[in-house]
Structure 1
Amino acid sequence: MTRRNSPNDFKVAEDLSRLSEIVVDKRNGKRAEAKAGRRNRHYEKQFLDSAVKTGLYRQTSD
């Protein structure tokens, strides 16, 4: 099975705007398709949390 993307793979903030393209479910089969959306949302959240913690992305407060 292919390795999932890691939050450590992101080095520039521009990558965060392409999360839906980068985070792709690499598993095959009916069961994998049923859970793909949930799994991808989980990984997108991990990438965003990691970016905020490492300082790659800074939240702005109004």
Structure 2
Amino acid sequence: MAAEGDTEENFAPVRAYYKALLDCLGWKDAGIVYAGGNMAAGDIQAHPEQLEAARQLGAAL
């Protein structure tokens, strides 16, 4: 998930949609990587810890 801010509150609407989508599709939640502060293409490059968290989640699937 990505959001303009980097607090849990910024992610609340997106997280609610994600959970509703999981319920609707009957999918299992494998985890969430919060990547706050990324609004423009390439912003994630300044947050290597977020990229690593995403990599670890993907590797665990």
TM-score for the superposition, normalised by structure 2: 0.34
Which structure: larger Rg? 1
Richer in strand (by share):
2
TM-score for the superposition, normalised by structure 1: 0.33
